[in-house]
Amino acid sequence: MKNIVLILCSILTLSVSAQKSITVTGEFKEDFITKEPSKQLRKTLFVLEKGDIYFPEGMLFDRMYFLKLSDKDAKKLGAKVILIYPFFDREITFIYNTPITLELLPIPNLPDCYYSKKASCAQVSSTYPQNLPLSTMNKIKQVEVFSVENFERNDYDFRDLPEWIEALDNDKKVPITRTRRLYLTDDTERTEEELDMIALSDLAKMKMKNVKYFFGDIVPLAENPTKKDWQQWWKKLMLIKLPYEHPKSAKK
């Protein structure tokens, strides 16, 4: 319980102003380093986005980028360089020495640290979530076949979670592909995809297993959560207010 409280303290001491966007202009520089986001930062973003979030490059490969602000915006924000977590297309972060306009949202408790859903310059523009591929849940609704291996390894797409929770006891069969490895007589091997069917409930369990691994401790959750446990977890997540105040009992 103490660990849960510590996590909540670090994540959820938020302010209402954290949700107000700021428009700035700045430049990415080729000689600037990048930084790996911490687990706590990802959890903060998950809370800020109310559990409806798509991490563009997944948990293993996502990065944060330094942005050199224009003189005007440096005065406005009180910093010449800030750190950005981009939800827009990452290609923009590789456009160097070019003025780029971004809409920023502050990340609570991290000075000069922001996340951004919209960026544009003369060459290109990108807005989140309009830049995202179709979610797996929507693929299922459109009877679009997808790879179950890719789905199981998915550590970036946390959209449609209320629907995944509802699907935990839905045994409707949906089409997928599986990768099969073939060993040939000449000691070589190859892979091929084969069409298969899987219960929607099995997919939902895979999805919620990932949610539990990355975000399950934001709100207390049973070791082996049932559908009802997940429903309660989601309700509590949605009830987190800005600023967050802990019950007195949680401070013990």
The pLDDT of residue 246 is 37
Question: In the predicted model, is pLDDT for residue 32 greater than 80?
Answer: yes
Query: What pTM does this model have?
Result: 0.84
192 touches 199 (CB < 8 A)? no
Among 157, 96, 88, which residue's Cα sits nearest to residue 116?
Answer: 88
Residue 26 C-beta-side C-alpha neighbours within 13 Å: 27
155, 156, 160, 163 alpha-carbon torsion, rounded to 10° = -10
How far is residue 112's CA from residue 131's CA, in Å, rounded to a whole number?
A: 26
pLDDT by residue (tens digit) across 184-218? 666 677 778 899 999 999 999 999 999 999 999 99
Rg (C-alpha) for the chain, rounded Å, is: 21
Greater pLDDT, 20 or 27: 27
Q: What percent of the chain has pLDDT over 90?
A: 74
Greater pLDDT, 250 or 195: 195
The pLDDT of residue 191 is 73
Give the residue extent of every domain in the chain. Answer: 12-127, 136-223
Please report which confidence band the pLDDT of residue 181 belongs to, taking 50, 70 and 90 as the band edges: confident
Please report which confidence band the pLDDT of residue 224 belongs to, taking 50, 70 and 90 as the band edges: very high
Q: Write the CA distances from 91 to 60, 99, 101, integer angstroms.
A: 18, 15, 14
The CA-based diameter of the chain, rounded to the nearest angstrom, is 69
Please report which confidence band the pLDDT of residue 183 belongs to, taking 50, 70 and 90 as the band edges: low
Among 209, 138, 203, which residue's Cα sits nearest to residue 169?
Answer: 203
How far is residue 80's CA from residue 26's CA, in Å, rounded to a whole number?
A: 9
How far is residue 94's CA from residue 155's CA, in Å, rounded to a whole number?
A: 24
Please report which confidence band the pLDDT of residue 59 belongs to, taking 50, 70 and 90 as the band edges: confident
Mean pLDDT value across residues 10-25: 63
How far is residue 182's CA from residue 184's CA, in Å, rounded to a whole number?
A: 6
The pLDDT of residue 2 is 45
